[in-house]
Amino acid sequence: MAIEELLALVAPPAKMSHAQAHPDWDAIERAVGTRLPTDYRAYATHYGSGRFDDDTYTFWVINPLSPTYLSQFAAELDLWRFRREAFPCEYPAAIFPAIPGLFPWGCDEDGGMMGWLVESNDPDQWPVVAKNRDESFERFDLNFSTFLAQSLNHRIRPRVWRPDYPEDIRQVSFRPDPS
């Protein structure tokens, strides 16, 4: 699984914020309205809440184990709906819970958006989609952790991220949110 590659590229924090020894995934997924991808769940248990950062650019992954996840998720859905209404030609689908639908999982400091295109009931098959402020969504037929790992080590270059990010993967760290 690509989560191992991500863990090898960027070490998880020694002390995670919002870590849970035995998350109640059933309750989380019921509240969200769908199952979540396996590697995203693994990410949450390894990294917790926080951001990837190299001192020049930062992006966040919304942590489903955070006590504020449901409100963050709802706020991102509202933002995506608002932007889709304003710029419908930039959005390849409706917003979740519609299927196909766009489902947010992250954002960056420049207003970039990252998520999945929910096309089926199998979350492990959802492609990643990413959009910077000025362009349409870009689709990646990769799972969540493969997208992160390949982006961070320059095997793919998503337009959502600045062209020079990360210049050197050794400078990228994961910084946990304060608990």
In the chain, the largest separation of any two C-alpha atoms, in whole Å, equals 43
Q: How far apart are CA 65 and CA 32, in angstroms?
A: 12
- pTM for the model stands at 0.92
Residue with the bigger pLDDT between 54 and 142: it is 142
The pLDDT assigned to 15 comes to: 81
Please state the rounded mean pLDDT for residues 131-155. 90
What do you get for the CA distance between the two ends of the chain, in Å? 29
Residue 50 in tokens: 């926080």
Sign of CA dihedral 64, 67, 72, 77: positive
Q: How far apart are CA 124 and CA 115, in angstroms?
A: 13
Q: How far apart are CA 135 and CA 117, in angstroms?
A: 17
Residue with the bigger pLDDT between 104 and 163: it is 104
